[in-house]
A and B are shown apart, each in its own frame.
Chain A
Amino acid sequence: MNWQWFHRLGSPRWFYQKTGAWLPWLALASVVLLSVGSVWGLGFVYEHGQQGNSYRIIYIHVPAALLALAGYYVMAISGAIGLIWRMKLSFAVMRAAASIGAVLSFICLVTGSLWGKPTWGTYWEWEARMTSMLILLFLYIGVIALSHAASREQSADKASALLALVGTVNIPIIYWSVNWWNSLHQRATLRVIEESRIDPVMFYPLLIMIIGFYCMYAWTLLTHTRTLLLKREMRTKWAQDELLGGR
């Protein structure tokens, strides 16, 4: 197998120059998909049988939750690659994924809370799904905090990567919490193996929002990683060339 592409990833300069061209396309895809999905989902799809209009928050809540969970693996796996191969780029990706993941978990918690009041009758309960999701937010914040904690960047990166890896156990707990324990939160609507528990007309805008959130995730992750790389590599010639516009 040809591992050249993998070793190239060790070069922040190569990554920076390669990804620049992808950004406009990812931005365009995110804006189009998210606009179409939200207008369709929030404005045009019919109401839910019991919940009426309040269910429409699903079009923000579920994509944010999915990406908050998937993004944790992006962060943890980048951290592991950084620890094993001592790759500067992967630590930058880990650090970028931590900020974006924290924002997504926060969005998931806030929208879930706002949705809980009209449906369940409460903003917050200390049940398994909600508590484990709150722990996810704290793990993301912990990784961000640790990355500022050491004066040497390398030590801070290693410490953050270790915390990120230890925290991976929380992801299956969040996902399966509603099946393992009695909870207030209902079980998963979107199923991989079985048929999903959602009407197709309600599902299409949700699917568009999910793909849109993935595009937005990729877009913000690349942008944030590139900025971090410039900051971390500011003493190198390529970074100075990029910043000063000497292409």
Chain B
Amino acid sequence: MHPVRKQRLILVLVLVVLSSAAVGFVAYAMRGNIDFFYPPKAFAAGEVPMEKRIRAGGCVIPGSVQRADDSLDVQFVITDGVAELTVVFDKILPDLFAEGEAAVIAGRLLPSGVLQADQVLAKHDENYTPPEVADTMVSHEACMNGGKI
């Protein structure tokens, strides 16, 4: 290769490596802020600020959803396989919200340790399957172990 071209090739590679390293360091330093939500274990460890809008994500434990008879109030428990977090919500849940599936909840952590939600999003997994195989115990178990979040 011509020496001038070789030099330009090296300059191009240096540019790519250095700019990637710079962005990589910034992303590493901000990793806590890039996470979209806290898992329940972060709540259990006391890492989540109180009275500030935050997000939690986890698997909705099957059988934990309790609905009020006379209002939209709903309460459920999410888990990441390590800790559990109780969530209360008073609006309409998304269509894909389901027991044994993951959900992302935005709201405020009350002093009682309960998350008062103002928004609930359903997080679906990466599996594309036809209706008959979708709702299996295996799928729920994977969720309960934190496999879907």
Contact = CB atoms under 8 A, between A and B. Distances in A.
A84 B8 contact: yes
Given A166-B19, A173-B23, A50 B12 contact: no
Interface residues of B, number: 44
Interface stretch (A184-192, A212-220, A229-237): A184-192
Contact of A49 (B15, B97, B133): B133
A120 B131 CA distance: 19
Contact of B20 (A80, A84, A169): A169
A182 B37 CA distance: 6
Nearest to B92: A121
Nearest to A79: B12
Contacts of B39: 182
Interface stretch (B65-73, B107-115, B121-129): B121-129
Interface in B83-104: 94-98, 101, 104
A138 interface: no
A119 to B, nearest CB: 5
Contacts of A20: none
A146 to B, nearest CB: 15
Query: At the interface, is chain B mostly helix, strand, loop or mixed?
Result: mixed
A165 B124 contact: no
B82 interface: no
Contacts of B128: 48, 55, 58, 189, 197-199, 202-203
Contacts of B124: 50-51, 119-120, 186
Contact of B19 (A169, A173, A197, A202): A169
B35 interface: yes
Contacts of B52: none
Interface string A18-57: 0000000000000000000000000000111111000100
A180 B122 CA distance: 20
A128 B37 CA distance: 11
A198 B128 CA distance: 4
A140 to B, nearest CB: 17
A199 B129 contact: yes
Contacts of A203: 128
Contacts of A58: 128
A129 to B, nearest CB: 9
A46 B35 CA distance: 34
Interface string B15-40: 11001100110010001001111110
9 contacts: A50-B134, A84-B5, A120-B104, A121-B95, A168-B16, A169-B16, A182-B37, A197-B128, A198-B129
Interface of B: 5, 8-9, 12, 15-16, 19-20, 23-24, 27, 31, 34-39, 57, 94-98, 101, 104, 119-135, 149
Interface of A: 46-51, 55, 58, 80, 83-85, 118-122, 125, 127-128, 162, 165-166, 168-170, 173, 180-184, 186-189, 197-199, 201-203
